[in-house]
Amino acid sequence: MVQTMSNASVQEKLRAGITAVKNGDRIQGRALLEAVLEVDERNETAWLWLSGAVETAEERQICLENVLAINPQNTLAQKGLAKLAQAAPEKAPDAGRVQVVRREYAPLSTASALLYPDDHIKTWEWRDPTAVQAQAETPGYQSSESYQDIWTKEAPMCGYCAQELALEDMRCPACKRNLVVKSFRYPNASSSLTVLWVLVLGVGQLFALQVLYNILAQHNLYTAVGSGLVAVLFVGLAAGIHFRQNWAHLTAIYVLAAVILGLLLRWALPADLEALGLASLDPAIQEFILPLTTGLGETLRGLILAGSVLALFYAVFKAGPDFDRVTARQVATLTKGPKTAADFNAAATQLARNGVWATAVLHWQNAAAKAPEHLAYQESLGRAYAQLGFFERSLDVLQGALKRSGSPERQAAIQQQIRAVQAKMEQQTQQAK
């Protein structure tokens, strides 16, 4: 279940969360700011104020790192991380007989709230001699290793369905998908590729103008048809280049070279009155119209030549790497590049959209471990486990997120997901019988 929120509502919650933190109500402020981040995870202001509402140094560090991932120039986040680096490690409180009593005070300024949140908390210990020692519950997401399944093995697994693979498997034995895939060496297109397809499209448009010139000035239908076909060809090549088709790249090189050669040869030929359809006109009119039409034609040819030369340069020397493809085996593994929890979540979301669920699970595991306070990552991980049929793992993750959620709306959404997973488990059990 995906929760939606209007921009006005997001801003309202953001202002309310900041006000709560300023007033010393860090619990309410944290709940409101986390609600904002569930909708807009790249909200720099929300991450910054959340760093003043969380309880541990580890959580504060994650928040500030997320701020710098969004805006590396944020001075408050830089100072906050520097302060954390200088601080001594926090001592873990006793989990059994010692109860920590907390009282929070409103900060005096914005900088004080963000850089020195611990100064607004007074704590003292109260020991109950009759209390029974209890085992402390670890907050946040921790991957459970009590299961003996593919996630605890060091074996390669299918990036789509998490099926264990043999070294010689070129097709998944479970989902039957082809594991040998070709992908671009560079996932994101370069600016050179953009320049190339713009130039090719521009040359095509110039040939379209050449069609009008052939009809209106030269009255030559055959030449107009030829220019029109060339214009259509260049528009098709531009579309193929935009989608990084190798055939379009190679064809564009040959066609551009042919156009340049043809224009250079054409340049040496004199103007032909018969071709222009002006031979029957009065000589005085010919002397006026011929330079005008010839000049327009020369201008068009000059522009086409310049655009073709520049496009050929980019096609041969600049944009070639954008069309390179590499062959890889589609096994579940972490992709290069993501560093922060938000990066891992973005990569996992894209992988899930492409159906590569097992690889998406690895990325959501990292996102949930790096940002345990962001329950949306745990929910996504739980849904991914359920998608792959690991229902017990899914329930463990979702129930852990449910315990840590402080929002009634969020709890209702997680409970609905839990019921859906339980229903799938029951259906699987009945089918097994």
3-class DSSP state of 41? coil
Residues sharing a CB contact under 8 Å with residue 304, sequence separation 6 or more, in sequence order? 203, 206, 207, 210, 259, 263
Q: Chain centroid to CA 24: how far?
A: 36
Domain boundary among 83, 98, 127: 127
pLDDT in tens, 237-271: 999 999 999 999 999 999 999 999 988 887 765 54
Instruction: Name residue, tokens 């009945």.
Output: 430
| One domain, residues 195 and 318 | yes
Handedness of CA 209, 215, 221, 223 (dihedral sign): negative
pLDDT at 119 over 80: no
Which tokens belong to 245? 């088709």
Q: Which of residues 39 and 237 earns the better pLDDT score?
A: 237
| One domain, residues 317 and 200 | yes
Whole-number pLDDT of residue 146: 59
| One domain, residues 199 and 318 | yes
Average pLDDT over residues 148-169: 84
Which tokens belong to 199? 């130039």
State the pLDDT confidence band at 133, using cuts at 50, 70 and 90: very low
| One domain, residues 412 and 293 | no
| One domain, residues 217 and 304 | yes
Q: Is residue 249 part of a domain?
A: yes
Average pLDDT over residues 284-298: 52
State the pLDDT confidence band at 135, using cuts at 50, 70 and 90: very low
CB 122 within 8 A of CB 105: yes
Average pLDDT over residues 384-410: 87
Q: Is residue 172 part of a domain?
A: no
Whole-number pLDDT of residue 254: 95
Instruction: Name residue, tokens 């229902």.
Output: 391
Dist. CA 249–CA 259, nearest whole Å:
15
Average pLDDT over residues 174-178: 90
| One domain, residues 300 and 347 | no
Terminal Cα-to-Cα distance of the chain (whole angstroms): 30
pTM beyond 0.75, yes or no: no
| One domain, residues 315 and 364 | no
> Residue 375's domain is classified under what CATH number?
1.25.40.10
CB 353 within 8 A of CB 363: no
| One domain, residues 370 and 262 | no
State the pLDDT confidence band at 217, using cuts at 50, 70 and 90: confident
Lowest-confidence range among 21-30, 233-242, 281-290?
Answer: 281-290
Alpha helices per DSSP H over 354-390: 357-370, 375-388
Whole-number pLDDT of residue 257: 95
Q: Is residue 159 part of a domain?
A: no
pLDDT at 276 over 80: no
CB 300 within 8 A of CB 210: yes
Residues sharing a CB contact under 8 Å with residue 361, sequence separation 6 or more, in sequence order? 151, 162, 332, 348, 381, 384, 385, 388
Q: Is residue 162 part of a domain?
A: no
Full residue range of the structural domain in which residue 112 is found: 7-127
Lowest-confidence range among 77-91, 110-124, 325-339?
Answer: 110-124
Q: Is residue 146 part of a domain?
A: no
| One domain, residues 107 and 13 | yes
pLDDT at 312 over 90: yes
Average pLDDT over residues 277-286: 47
Whole-number pLDDT of residue 283: 52
pLDDT in tens, 87-109: 644 444 444 444 444 445 555 55
| Percent of the chain at pLDDT exceeding 70 | 77
Whole-number pLDDT of residue 185: 79
Angle at 359 between CA 358 and CA 365, to 5 degrees: 90
Q: Is residue 329 part of a domain?
A: no
Whole-number pLDDT of residue 54: 83
State the pLDDT confidence band at 139, using cuts at 50, 70 and 90: very low
CB 30 within 8 A of CB 110: no
CB 235 within 8 A of CB 201: yes
pLDDT at 150 over 90: no
| Percent of the chain at pLDDT exceeding 90 | 24
Residues sharing a CB contact under 8 Å with residue 291, sequence separation 6 or more, in sequence order? none
Lowest-confidence range among 99-108, 201-210, 257-266, 297-306?
Answer: 99-108
Dist. CA 67–CA 343, nearest whole Å:
13
| One domain, residues 303 and 347 | no
Domain boundary among 75, 99, 127: 127
| One domain, residues 314 and 342 | no
| One domain, residues 112 and 219 | no
pLDDT at 143 over 60: no
Q: How would you class 104 by CB atoms within 10 Å of its CB: exposed for 0-12, middle for 13-18, buried for 19 or more?
A: middle
Average pLDDT over residues 220-231: 88
Q: Is residue 140 part of a domain?
A: no
pLDDT at 422 over 70: yes
Instruction: Count how many domains the chain has.
Output: 3
CB 374 within 8 A of CB 348: no
Q: Is residue 158 part of a domain?
A: no
pLDDT in tens, 314-344: 999 999 999 988 777 778 888 877 888 888 8
Angle at 100 between CA 96 and CA 101, to 5 degrees: 145
Mean pLDDT of the chain: 78
pLDDT in tens, 345-354: 999 999 999 8
